[in-house]
Amino acid sequence: MEPFPSEIRELNLAEHRALRDAATRLKEQVQDCHCSSLPGPIVCVIASLLDRVRKHLDEEDATLGPVLQHLDPWGPLRAANLCERRRVELTRIAEMLGRLAKPLRDGPLWSHLLGFIDWMEGELFAEERQVLNPYSVGDDLREEMESRVAIGRWENEGGSGSSSRRLGARCDSGGRL
């Protein structure tokens, strides 16, 4: 059985919390390190976190992308926005991995890392607000859209249009209920 959108949302939110926790622990380690370059074990933790973020993005695309695509009439636009967000995120991850290979070419690695972690945490919060909120990915929306389709069919068969006008009046300018 296919998972409900709310289940997919909750799984992704849980992974976001885990990524933020790992990033916070790494940030604390880096801030406690009073040295011009980061020691090898911390560099390994950084590489591991970046790999985990990449895997999360792949999993999220595989689970959330199809839900967004088919959830409502705005799904294709939401899925395209997610795809663009991924392109930017993967570029930033690749840049950070490049800095791990040559940490001193653009200044101390720790300053780039702290900036990257701040950016990553901001991206996670933005995605939660814009994509993973219950109004964008929720079971109620799916049920409401199925109701709209049924009402539309009923009206096309000679029923009253007042029901769909009431539903339309409940939508905001973005088409959300």
Residues 67-95 as b/e (b if ≥16 CB within 10 A, e otherwise) read bbeebbeebeebbeebeebeeebeebbee
- Amino acid code (one letter) for 63: T
The residues with which 107 forms a beta bridge, in sequence order, are 105
Closest alpha carbon to 64 in 54, 73, 56: 56
> pLDDT confidence of 165, banded at 50, 70, 90?
very low
> pLDDT confidence of 134, banded at 50, 70, 90?
confident
d(CA 51, CA 97): 10
**DSSP-based three-state secondary structure for 104:** coil
Taking only the tens place, the pLDDT of each residue in 120-129 is 999 999 999 9
Taking only the tens place, the pLDDT of each residue in 9-18 is 999 999 999 9
pLDDT at position 175 over 60: no
> pLDDT confidence of 40, banded at 50, 70, 90?
confident
Output the six-digit token pair for 61. 């695309």
Q: What is the pLDDT of residue 31?
A: 77
- Please report the sign of the dihedral spanned by the C-alpha atoms of residue 90, residue 95, residue 96, residue 97: positive
Q: What is the pLDDT of residue 126?
A: 93
Structural domain spans, the chain: 5-137, 139-177
d(CA 148, CA 137): 17
Cβ–Cβ under 8 Å, residues 11 and 77: no
Residues in the chain: 177
